[in-house]
Amino acid sequence: MVPMLNMGSLPLANRLETLGSTSDKAYPLVVYYCHNCALIQLADLVPRNEMFTDYVYLTSASKTMTDHFNRYAETITQRLDLTTKDNVLDVGSNDGTLLKAFQRHGVKVLGIEPARNVASIAEAGGVPTLTEYFDLKLAKTLQKVRLVTANNILSHVGNLRDFLATVAQVLRHDGLFVFEVPWVADVLRNHSFDMIYHEHLSYFGLRSLARALQEAGLFLVDLEYYPSIHGGTFRGFASPSSKESSFVLREMSAREENEADFWALKEFSERVPKLAQHLRDILLGLKKEGKRIAGYGAPAKATILLNYCGIGRDILDYASDTTPLKQGKFIPGVGVPVVSPQLAQTKPPDYYLLLAWNFREEILAKEKEFIERGGRFVVPFPYPEVVDS
């Protein structure tokens, strides 16, 4: 493994600070490339209890994701012809958004979610949820199922080999493992370095992923691509019994050939510091003109973007976010306060830095009035720019 991009020491992305409990705790963030398995990954691991016990990310926080998971349940129910006799196991089930959609199709569900506060939201919504980590010990207590899903989970897993072996263990022979991960080719192409944070241990391309699955006796057989989910996501379908790969999978693997390799990562690593400086310069220029700037959204990504670029309270008045769990807290490291959109509306800025850039379409549509009144958005990726549409 070789170190490729050293982002310095940064705070944990989802660890929002409260008034009484500000902490300057920062952890090294260095991206490595493995010449053996082609996996782009972190090697400085933070204990998982520090990251996943109390969690502020909620799947249901955007219409884009709720719609996405509703369609997900519908298409997979059809694809596998799931009935009331079938069980779906969702690993990292968060607030139960996906499982609720499966329940509406009459399928039996079980969620696995180690973050207690988030799991209890799912339970309160009628989604049975185990507050556990998904491992072989837990698998022994579970029934075998037709479908295991894991969305935006594989990147978070410390021991990928054990995790995939556990999936294989609970999957029926005729079952399917369906998962979503951000595609590293998109991260590199869009320069979205804020997708790199301590929780995300692996950055998958198809090659490295297929290889890891195969070690667990699972075969990547099909793929769907969602360019507007988390900046570019693929949904993989892995089978314990069939080895026949689809046309789309073969096409995408060929397309990825030069887009997620050592050289692509090297180019990305050279560009990132320059783009970060450019974004800061744009914002400082606006401040010099006397403009007021605020952040739009307080995603985990924002912690990385703001800390790495050196964008603090001298530049951003606040960050507005719809998630009640985040409001009243502060983005770690930079101390930017998170406020509700209602509060933001009482003191709107001239410019919003689009921190939740992955919801660009949804947000710009929602903020038509702000734009019509002369407000503008600064979009950080793929190149920092000011936009009004």
Binding site for ligand TYD (CB under 6 A): 57, 61-62, 297-301, 321-323, 326, 356, 358-359, 362-363, 366
Q: Are 181 and 231 in contact (CB under 8 A)?
A: no
Shortest Å distance, C-beta 69 to ligand TYD: 12
Task: Specify the residue, 217 or 348, whose C-beta has the smaller distance to ligand TYD.
Answer: 348
Task: Specify the residue, 82 or 319, whose C-beta has the smaller distance to ligand TYD.
Answer: 319
Shortest Å distance, C-beta 1 to ligand TYD: 25
Task: Specify the residue, 234 or 237, whose C-beta has the smaller distance to ligand TYD.
Answer: 234
Shortest Å distance, C-beta 97 to ligand TYD: 12
Task: Specify the residue, 15 or 108, whose C-beta has the smaller distance to ligand TYD.
Answer: 15
| DSSP state string for 65-129 | HHHHHHHHHHHHHHHHT--TT-EEEEET-TTSHHHHHHHHTT-EEEEE---HHHHHHHHHTT--E
Shortest Å distance, C-beta 122 to ligand TYD: 17
Is the CA virtual torsion 217, 223, 224, 226 positive or negative?
positive
Shortest Å distance, C-beta 23 to ligand TYD: 19
Task: Specify the residue, 315 or 325, whose C-beta has the smaller distance to ligand TYD.
Answer: 325
Q: Are 351 and 290 in contact (CB under 8 A)?
A: no
Return d(Cα 241, Cα 327) in angstroms, integer: 47
Task: Specify the residue, 186 or 321, whose C-beta has the smaller distance to ligand TYD.
Answer: 321
* Per-residue burial over 235-271, b = 16 or more CB atoms within 10 Å of its CB, e = otherwise: bbbbbbeeeebeeebeebbeebeebbbeebbeebbeb
Shortest Å distance, C-beta 193 to ligand TYD: 13
Strand-strand pairing, 108-112 and 129-130: parallel
